[in-house]
Every structure is written in structure tokens, then in C-alpha cells.
Amino acid sequence: MPELLQFLLSGITVGAVYALVALGFTIIYNASDVVNFAQGEFVMLGGMITFFAHAAGLPLPLAALIAIIVTAAIGVALNKLAIEPARGAPVVSLIIITIGASIFIRGATQLVFDKQLHRFPAFSGDQPILIGGATILPQSLWVIAGALAVFVCLWLFFTRTLIGRAVLATANNRVAAQLVGINTKYVMTLSFAMSAAIGALAGVLVTPITLTSYDVGLALALKGFAAAMLGGMGNPKGALVGGLLLGVLEAMTAGYISSQYKDAAAFVVILAVLFAMPQGLFGRKSTDRV
Amino acid sequence: MSLLQIEGLGIDFGGLRAVHDVGFSLKPGEIVSVIGPNGAGKTTLFNMISGVYAPARGRVVLDGEDVTRMPPHLLARRGLSRTFQNLQIFQSMSVLENAVAGHHLHERGSVFADLFALPAARRRSQASGESARALLDRVGLGRAAEQEAGSLSYGALKRLEIARALALKPRVLLLDEPAAGCNAVETEEIDHLIAQVAAEGVSILLVEHDMKMVMRISNHIVVLDHGEKIAEGEPAAIARNPRVIEAYLGAQATEAKHVDG
């Protein structure tokens, strides 16, 4: 039994990272129907900038804060320089722009920083905590708490606040949103800033466990995207559940079958779910009027 | 004193002069209709006034302020609101939520109060809900409040769009073919609604193909043909104007015959 618990705990840790990436997808998708494939690069930037700021002598919390702010600024720049000028282009074109942006960010990071693997110390030490025969790293608890906190904040943001509802209204119908006085450009800028900040936070939390380098973003983006699709694109609850489910699935497959098959098993389950529920577990029905 | 003043407005699409040198004005509570054959530039004119297109020439003055080329969300804040011929509705929201969205501008409160659902925030959203319901009743959609907007008929969506525009408490309301796709009873209801709103002091600029409705409710009519203003005046005078009859009513009469026969 401790075996099962161990797999479950490591699955939840990995799943919490996927959930954080998926939550980042949620915001930009909600505001613009665009799936931002540069989301993984935000995670990478969060880790890399924190490492280099910390290495330059800044205390870790300050380095992390700077990383989050700088990444948010890069998110805003991505929107202003690449997405906004292409406004009016079909969503598919915008998605391709985000793929291009992710390649660009990866290349630029290689030049500005380096190609090495980096790690900074865990927040609360590396002494594993024993739970019923299984162990968990204190840093894992930070990751899980981070995912839960971001989820709660986003859920409150979208359901309770006027600006959160303005984001949803913009996604639903941009012209109508402008008609009722919503500044849709501001909504877009805000959602890129928030997505980038959440991505960077994920990078800060996870780097002590998984290490970071310029090229970790792509894999994270794919897994986060899969998690968001599984849960239902655009729904914070779906992102959280989808991420955790994907992580646990992977851990179980790796533990009981073979780690060779962990990606395959996860994607087979996702395909099966999407066959039965094309909108994902918590997705809203799309109602396009012809 | 005019509330909305249009001066020499014009725009070109490629080499085509879509609208050229159009000017007129609206007083508070006045209903002005813009008529003209299909392709005369009516909707283009609307799009320029409401900030959807940037005009190449001319000015739009709202209550003494030059608002030419101002984006729609800023115009909405200054009291200019519109509906679209081809509908701009939040399809996947409920009917009530669509109307509440119109109150967006008039809701002011702290994010903090919203997040923790403090009484102030709850009162505010309750007040928005109540006045949205009152507006829905007014356009005859009170019973459909909880339905998803996407499930409504075209005519009902037209009225929902008017309700949402009214929720902004506009001073100038631009209606692009509000009665299109509505049956005779619905058209009459919209007719009454427009007259009522105007009686409350809102200036209304109307594009409409239903000539009976236009002649009945307009104080003033502007006639466009090939993007230019060819006549302007009271309904009775417009109906007798030979240029208008040639350009517009003549074509309309032929169309009407097709429909009847």
C-alpha cells in the first residue's frame, strides 16, 4: 500500500505543475479563444530568471518576485508586439504566432543566459516528509499549495469581479463587449500579463524539484495543454482536475507498468475521454449560431 | 442645441467612395431616420459614428465634444450606444446576463468587495439584476430571462440587443434595422418602445427598411444614395421629394410589388 500512496503523491506533485500550466492557458483562452503555446516558455522564464537573479546575489524571494514581474512584462510584450498587430486574423493564425513566439523566446533565452541545467535551493529544505510509509518533498507541498491558491484566485476572479466577467464577455463576443463599454485591448493585455505571471510562478515553484534549462518549456506546454483539454478548455476547475488527473495517471503507469509507457498511457486516456466528452470533463457546450 | 452633430463625414474603401460629405444633427429626444437603397452607405455611416470604422473625413461631435475616431468602448462611456443589423449578442450567456452586461459601466465597486462577496457588492449586483429584469420586461423578454441567449429567435435577439443598449443609459442610441426579421406585432412593439425611449429624452438615430415605421415615428429623415445625402427633412416632405422617389421609394415600390405578388 505505501507503494500506491507514493505513486499518488508524486503524481499529484507533477499534476499540480500541469495544472498551473493549464490554468495559464485558461486565462488567455478565455479572453481570446487563443491557445497560447508560449505558455511553457513562461514557466521556463520563471525558473531561469529566478536562478540568475539568485546567482547574482539577490535573496530567493526577491529573485522569484523579479522573475514573475519580468515574465509578466514579457507576456504583455508578446501581446503588444505579436498578437495585437494581428488582431482580426483567424484564431489559428494567432495560435501559430504563439508557437513562433515560443521558439523565439527559447532561442533568446539560450543567448541571454546559457544552455545548462540549473537549480536553486528548495524553499523549506530537502528533508522528505514521511506520510504513511511514503515520502514527499516539502517543495512538492509548495507546488500543490501554489496550484490550489492560483485556482481559488482565478475562480474568484472570473466569477466575482467585474473585470473577470469583462474577460469572459470579451471572449464571448468582442464587438458586443466594446458596445457595453469594455476596453477589450486592456482585457487582452491583462490576460497575457496574468497568464505569464502564473506560468512564471509555476517555474519558480517547480525548479528546485525538476531543474530548469532553456528548453523545458515545450514539454510543459504540451502536457499543460493536454491537461486543459482533458478538463475542458477555459474552465479553471477543469484545468486543476485535468492537471492532477494527468499527473496521477502518468505516475501510476510509470509505477505499475513501465515509465516507458507513461506518456502513451496518459494520452490514450485523454483520447478516450475526449471521444466520449468532446468538450472535456468540465467544458461548456459551444453554441455557434449559423 | 444639438446633442449629436455629424459634419462632412466620409470614408473610402479602396477606390470606392462609400460615404461622402454627409452631415446632419440630432436634438435630445429626436428620432432621425437614415434611409436609402441597399448599398447606399447607411450601415457604413453608422459604423463611422459609433467608432467601428475610422472616417477619412469629417467630424462627429457628441454634446460639444469631438469624438471622431473614438473607439466604441469610450463612446459607450460618453452615452452613445448602438445595435447591429447582424446582431452582436453574448450567445452563450443567459438573456438576463446579456442585459446585466449592459450595466457594466454603471457598476462601480472595489475588487475586494467583489472577491469576498461583501454586502455592498451583493447589493450592487442585485440592483443590476433588478434593473436588467425591468428592461427585459420592457422589451417583452421578461419570461425568457433565464434562457440561453443563443436559443432565442432572431426577432427576440433584436429586442435583447435594444435592452442591452438601453442598460447603458445612453443619451444617443443608434439602431440598425431594429425591426428586421420581426413579425407585424413585434414591429409594432419595437415602434412603441422607440417612441417611449425618445420621449424620455434619448436621441435616436435609426436605419430601417420598414417605410411605414420610418414615416410614422421619425421627426426627421436623412436620405442617402450612393454614399451621399440627397435629401433631408420631415417625413411628409421626404415622401413627396422627386429625387427620393426616384432613388429610393421607386425601387422600394417595385420591391413591395414583388412581395405582394
Q: pLDDT for A241-260, tens place per residue?
A: 999 999 999 999 988 888 88
- At A18 the pLDDT is 93
* Residue A176 touches chain B, beta carbons under 8 Å: yes
Q: Going by C-beta distance under 8 Å and a sequence separation of 6 or more, which residues neighbour residue B209?
A: B177, B180
Amino acid at residue number A44:
M
* Residue A159 touches chain B, beta carbons under 8 Å: no
B111 vs A163: CB contact, 8 Å cut-off?
yes
Distance from CA of A82 to the nearest CA of B (A): 21
Q: What is the mean pLDDT of residues A186-196?
A: 93
Q: What is the mean pLDDT of residues A35-63?
A: 94
Domain residue extents for chain A: 2-276
Q: Name the 3-class secondary structure at B231.
A: strand
- At A289 the pLDDT is 41
- Residue pair B91/A289 in contact (Cβ under 8 Å)? The answer is yes
* Residue A88 touches chain B, beta carbons under 8 Å: no
Residue A103 pLDDT class (50, 70, 90 cuts): very high
What's the mean per-residue pLDDT of chain B?
84
**Is the CATH code 1.10.3470 the one for domain A2-276?**
yes
**Is the CATH code 1.10.490.10 the one for domain B1-79+170-261?**
no
Selected for mutation to probe chain A from B46, B87, B91 (highest A CB count within 10 Å) is: B91
- Residue pair A246/A18 in contact (Cβ under 8 Å)? The answer is yes
- At A239 the pLDDT is 92
- Compute the distance between CA of residue A16 and CA of residue B26 in angstroms, rounded to an integer: 59
Three-class SS string for A79-105?
HHHHHHHHCCCCHHHHHHHHHHHHHHH
Pick from A80-94, A132-146, A254-268, B239-253: least confident: B239-253
pLDDT < 70 stretches in chain B: 1, 105-118, 248-261
- Percent pLDDT > 90 in chain A is 52
The answer to whether residue A106 scores a pLDDT higher than 90 is yes
- Percent pLDDT > 70 in chain A is 97
- At A105 the pLDDT is 95
Domain residue extents for chain B: 1-79+170-261, 90-166
By CA distance, what is A180's nearest residue in B? Answer: B102
Burial class of residue A1 (count of CB atoms within 10 Å of its CB; 0-12, 13-18, 19+) = exposed
The secondary structure of residue A283, as a DSSP letter, is P
The secondary structure of residue A285, as a DSSP letter, is P
Q: What is the mean pLDDT of residues A17-46?
A: 91
Residue A278 pLDDT class (50, 70, 90 cuts): confident
Q: Going by C-beta distance under 8 Å and a sequence separation of 6 or more, which residues neighbour residue B68?
A: B55, B58, B59, B60, B61
The answer to whether residue A288 scores a pLDDT higher than 60 is no
- Highest mean pLDDT pick, A122-136, A175-189, A197-211, B95-109: A197-211
Q: pLDDT for B210-256, tens place per residue?
A: 888 888 899 999 998 888 888 888 988 888 888 888 876 555 555 55
Pick from A102-111, A157-166, B21-30, B104-113: least confident: B104-113
Q: Going by C-beta distance under 8 Å and a sequence separation of 6 or more, which residues neighbour residue A170?
A: A31, A32, A177, A182, A184, A187, A188
Burial class of residue B148 (count of CB atoms within 10 Å of its CB; 0-12, 13-18, 19+) = middle
Nearest to B205 by CA among B49, B68, B65: B49
- At A247 the pLDDT is 93
Strands (E), A44-140: 129-131, 134-136
Selected for mutation to probe chain B from A180, A287, A288 (highest B CB count within 10 Å) is: A180
Q: Going by C-beta distance under 8 Å and a sequence separation of 6 or more, which residues neighbour residue A88?
A: none
Amino acid at residue number A134:
A
- Compute the distance between CA of residue B45 and CA of residue B31 in angstroms, rounded to an integer: 16
- Residue pair A154/A23 in contact (Cβ under 8 Å)? The answer is yes
